[in-house]
Amino acid sequence: MRHQSNWVDGAYQTPTKEQILVINPATEASIATIDSTPLETVNSIISSSLQNFSTGVWSRADASARFAVLSRAANLLRSRLPEFVALETEQTGRPIREMRAQLPRIPEWLEYFASLARTHEGRVTPFKGPVVNTLTRLPLGVVVQITPWNHPLLIATKKIAAALAAGNSVIVKPSESAPLSVLEMGKLFQEAGLPDGTLQIVSGYGRETGKYLCESPLIAKIDLTGGLGTYKAIAPTASANLIPITAELGGKAPVCIFPSMSIEKGVRAALFASFIASGQTCVTGSRLLIHTDIYDEFVTLLGSRTIKLRIGPPTDDRTQVGAVISQDSVKRCATFVSEAIAEGGRILCGGKPTNVDGKGFFFEPTLIETKATSNLACNEVFGPVIALIRCESEEEIISVANATSFALGASVWTNDFNQAHRVAQNINAGIVWINGHHLNDPSSPWGGFEESGLGKENGLEAFESYTRVKSTIINYGQEPTWFDEEVTDARYG
């Protein structure tokens, strides 16, 4: 079994004494070990990163140099996609057909932020008088990025690209459940010309290594994709250290189906929204809000199609639904099903753990009719267990869509142009798709409201969040008032 060590200062390091086993969730086979990085090593890596930032080798590099490195990294990643596809499939249990669709787009994030590094400009404000006020954006310093297991390479690249484009030194801690593809990125960036020590990739448990990274007063920003509990664990210390946090914390996305949408197209939309990645995405269409006028016909067809979804080995091109990440995820799905039944829900299909050839962490694609106030309808499963809710009107669909503490993504399916915009405007979410779901682009800000998090990935918003603004005020014609002039005001004698 291979060991994948931390990538620090341009090289893989000596393995740590304590190591973590990485499991293929589809086969339960051990595929690698990684470092469990202790506190003293974390502190050493942060110090090294800070030294890297202070030298200016990247933080003060020309915009054209950053553009060139990120562009080369994009080309290198594109040339090596087959090996990354295989690795992502192995460590996540997601079908290879999904990885082949997703990973070819990842280089676009590197290219987009490379372009921002080259073209983003400062401003001159309308300062009163004969004064010029220039605003320039500077990198923050050493930034820490905590990335998840469900889209290991995609989400890490989104964060890394924005931070490097802005000139920061970056420390990434991938999830211990699926870290291998991210740990491979160190060599790729080195080959692209990134100075050693500018990107450090550190593995370990979130509760230990991740915590140590986020508690350091030497870091300048935390970018987290994870759960609300993780955010609450790190936020108090970050607040005390005046460290800003971008946090993408999850969702409970409604898929709003209206009568003007054909039943066939609506069902296909729901299957795609709900069961990609076995429901393990932050914008999984985990609540299907279906107008009563089409509800019965829609649910009948949806159920028959869901039963036919192919569960199988992720490496098989025919497999449509792969594994969930762990046995704990299987148990979580089963608990939501049991609670839904206890609350009066009705299982239309699925509802049970399963396996492939007696192995793996699989759960049947599951549809449950339930109330809008049920636990299943209000809280994140992070698995293929979907709530179906009958709604009597457009107003009720909007009301139910907004009835959770999450507000990340939502989709609206209708052929009524006026209704599409009216409903989208009234849904409380950071991302609303009209006749689409899971659509993503490096230029499109990604992030939610309420308990779904703070700040944005993607777009100009992400780039600027990795910078600080400096005002330089130039007086070219306004006579200053000197402190030693005679004071004539009677109040001063």
* Nearest-angstrom CA–CA distance, 78 and 84: 10
> By three-state DSSP, how is residue 177 classified?
coil
To the nearest 5 percent, what fractions of the chain are helix, strand and coil? 40, 25, 35
Secondary structure letter of residue 25 according to DSSP: T
Q: Which two tokens stand for residue 242?
A: 């005046």
248 labelled catalytic: yes
> Per residue in 190-226, is it b (16+ CB within 10 Å) or e — as a string?
bebebbbbbbbbbbbebebbbbbbbbbeebbbbbbbb
**For 54, how many CA atoms within 13 A lie in the half-sphere containing its CB?**
8
List the one residue out of 76, 110, 106, 113 whose CA is nearest residue 190. 76
**For 4, how many CA atoms within 13 A lie in the half-sphere containing its CB?**
24
Q: What is the separation, in whole angstroms, between the first and last Cα of the chain?
A: 86
List the one residue out of 278, 114, 88 whose CA is nearest residue 182. 88
List the one residue out of 206, 233, 204, 200 whose CA is nearest residue 219. 200
Catalytically annotated residue among 176, 248, 369, 394: 248
Judge whether 354 and 313 are in contact, CB under 8 Å: no
List the one residue out of 474, 438, 440 whose CA is nearest residue 459. 440
Mapping DSSP onto H, E and C, the string for 356-372 reads ECCEEEEECCEEEECCC
| Residues 367, 368, 372, 377, CA torsion sign | negative
Kindly list the distances between the CA atom of residue 180 and the CA atoms of 22, 23, 71, 313, in Å, as whole numbers in the listed order: 9, 11, 23, 20
Which run of H or of E encompasses 139?
Answer: strand 131-139
Which run of H or of E encompasses 2?
Answer: strand 2-4
Q: At what angle do helices 107-119 and 152-165 cross, to 10 degrees?
A: 10
| Residues 172, 185, 46, 111, CA torsion sign | negative
The counts of H helices and E strands in the chain are: 17, 25
Q: Which two tokens stand for residue 226?
A: 């994870």
Query: What are the catalytic residues?
Result: 248
